[in-house]
Structure 1
Amino acid sequence: MSEHKSTEPSKTTHFGFKTVNEHEKEKLVAGVFHSVAAKYDVMNDLMSFGVHRAWKRYTIEMSGVRTGHRVLDIAGGTGDLSFAFSRRVGPTGKVVLADINESMLKVGRDRLADRGVAGNLDVVQANAEVLPFPDDEFNVVTIAFGLRNVTHKDVALKEMLRVLKPGGRLLVLEFSKPTNDLLSKAYDTYSFKALPVMGKLVTQDADSYQYLAESIRKHPDQDTLQQMMYDAGFERVTYHNLTGGIVALHRGVKA
């Protein structure tokens, strides 16, 4: 009697505009950020003309983080938000900088050490879909420019809800959909023409910034992400468009 072999096809997902097997995406995304980690902050300033700093300041203000809070900064990369949060929570609070990518974490850890951050901050390599933290652990969870790289966004959102304390807040800062047609067309031209050229000049890697432009287009729009957060169990979900909807900040609360 011959052995039965499963004919179930491998599940696929998108990596930018390409279709890949789900198990491949994590490795491909890791390769992107390993390639650009050393110049990540320089490229952020160039790509956004420095405006990403204002987007992050707005996120920090909307978070409501205060002294003694516990904060999880998912996909925290080079540590911009973690640094600001560590100053806000003070010595009685705790900030966890989490990222799936080892290269990004190393850059973040070194930057934070250079800036004198120590006692109230931990650095953890973690997958947003399987967070290594107990239930009801954090007052605030943030994920800035990271959700679009997650394969199963619904799973990750439920994990973020799980680790929040009741009454805790999730803030998702992410590229989104421009609200004006003219701005959208100009943004498309900039994204697909200028970004890969910048990436090649600064990081010797045009492909990673081509992926960046493509991954933004595949990310759910504002209303879709709002509904996804409701579906995951969040309440009072709102969003605020920034820079004409090029970026949006979504905010949800755990009951």
Structure 2
Amino acid sequence: MLRAMTDPRTPSAPSQPAAPAQATGVSAGAEGNWFGYRPVDPDAKSGLVRAVFDSVAGRYDLMNDLMSGGIHRLWKDTLMEMVAPRADMTLLDVAGGTGDIAFRFLERGGGRAVVCDITESMVRVGRDRSYDRNLLTGVNWTVGDAERLPIASRSVDAYTIAFGLRNVTRIDAALSEARRVLKPGGKFFCLEFSHVVLPVLREIYDVYSFQVLPRLGRMVAGDEDSYRYLAESIRRFPEQQAMVKRIEAAGFGAVRVRNLTGGIAAIHSGWRI
């Protein structure tokens, strides 16, 4: 679970990007100093990310199709199987602007969904889509930051964030907020592009991400820079076991990781204790 930018960018990375070390997991909080492979002031990062998603809000599903070859739909179905929606369950979906996760939750028998996204244009797209699907009740929309959620403490049964955690300025702050809003015994789920565990697939995926994807972004969406940022942000996201440790450090128990499609994506889950 972006937009054209005028800021100067580094060239496309090689198959083994010469990025700062976060591609395999950096120290906690260091992600806030980087926007893709470009060093930035942490206080400026959320605005840059918001600008990216403003530019792609109307084409967000297309973006995910290009990023994953369409497989993101199957990944989201797998996520929802793990969530196991029930009529008495309240779901908070963070960075869920266009509603993909919330709609799946409601269509599978979930009780109530709250969608929170930092980008107002993404929320507008999601709300419009809910009207198109005739989902007029059971879902609420709010604009908010994953690091400072406008949600009451201990108020939701499940927390999901799909393709959003790598874009926050301070991952540990977002994890702390996830724990705060979950009821005791509530479940945390993060679906995110991750680090490929199969060497041959890794080489192919690097070529696709850094050489093919930005060109597709330019041709299909007129936005090469945003798609290059997406590829860079994936490589800078902590690797799977590093994320397990950070989720545990945030106070979650029974933390697990499930690789999808050879590690192109992964689902991390844990219980709020």
- The two structures share one fold, judged by TM-score above 0.5: yes
Structure 1 residues 1-255: aligned runs within 5 Å: 13-89=33-109, 93-255=111-273
Deviation at 1:45, TM superposition (A): 2.0
Aligned residue pairs: how many? Answer: 243
Tell me which amino acid in the other structure corresponds to 1:25: K
Deviation at 1:88, TM superposition (A): 3.4
SS at match of 1:240: strand
Query: Deviation per CA, 1:78-111, whole angstroms, max 9, x where unpaired?
Result: 1111111123345xx2100110011111111111
Higher RCO (C-alpha under 8 Å, 6+ residues apart): 2
SS at match of 2:33: strand
Deviates further, 244-253 or 35-44: 35-44
Deviation at 1:61, TM superposition (A): 0.3
1:12–1:172 Cα change, 3 Å: closer
1:25–1:174 Cα change, 3 Å: same
Q: TM-score, normalised by structure 1?
A: 0.93
Tell whether the 8 Å contact from 2:32 to 2:168 is kept in structure 1 after alignment. no
SS at match of 2:81: helix
Tell whether the 8 Å contact from 1:171 to 1:251 is kept in structure 2 after alignment. yes
Alpha-carbon distance in 1 for matches of 2:82, 2:252: 17
- Give structure 1 stretches of 5+ with no counterpart: 1-10
Tell whether the 8 Å contact from 2:32 to 2:169 is kept in structure 1 after alignment. no
Tell whether the 8 Å contact from 1:129 to 1:152 is kept in structure 2 after alignment. yes
* Correspondence for 1:3: none
Alpha-carbon distance in 2 for matches of 1:88, 1:135: 26
Q: Percent identity?
A: 49
* Correspondence for 1:4: none
SS at match of 1:251: strand
Report the RMSD for the aligned CA atoms in angstroms. Answer: 1.3
Q: Which has the larger radius of gyration?
A: 1
Tell me which amino acid in the other structure corresponds to 1:27: G
Alpha-carbon distance in 1 for matches of 2:80, 2:32: 35
Alpha-carbon distance in 2 for matches of 1:55, 1:183: 18
SS at match of 1:123: strand
Alpha-carbon distance in 1 for matches of 2:32, 2:46: 12
Deviation at 1:65, TM superposition (A): 1.9
Alpha-carbon distance in 1 for matches of 2:214, 2:194: 19
